[in-house]
Amino acid sequence: MNDLTLGAAAAALDAELRRFDQIADLLARLKLDSEKNLDRATRAVQDAAQSEEKIADAVRDLVGAVARSRGRQEEQGKAVAERAREVGARREELQTIVGRFAELGAEASSISSLLKEGGNLGEAAERMEKIAESAKSMRDHAEQREFGEAARQAESLRQQMLSARNKLKLVERKRDQE
């Protein structure tokens, strides 16, 4: 059995079927009225027998190619299904991280509201410190799980919170000095 591709096996079968059709047409047209024509007809019958053997081989090759193609498709289907499970798990994991970002965003917003209402600067600075610590933890987790973009965003949030906390502490020191 040849290891032909599906297309090559189908093309080989098609070519041999066309050859057989030509032989059959020749046999049908030949007048069996002379020794020359009888010799031609005899060769055509022999050619037809050989062509039928080649057709049988080509059919076996085509069936083999179909089976190999089906086997490849089944293996690829398993790989696709496994990858789909991985994609789903990673998406779920990323959604957890994104949800945590939303929680930190809500906490940052509440600090902003506290400051607008004239709240305690020390309390706001402490809460910013906690957000920065949470962002660091998120960054470390995101890096460990190879979510580079989420890790960068968490680090950016951490830096922003530390910067805002430092500014609040400066303002608080200036107030205390006055």
pLDDT in tens, 45-81: 999 999 999 999 999 999 999 999 999 999 999 999 9
Structure tokens at 126: 């402490």
Q: What number of helices (H) and strands (E) belong to the chain? A: 4, 0
pTM for this entry: 0.64
Chain Cα centroid distance, residue 146? 17
Q: Is pLDDT above 70 for 1? A: no
pLDDT digits (tens, 9 = 90+) for 118-168: 888 888 999 999 999 999 999 999 999 999 999 999 999 999 999 999 998
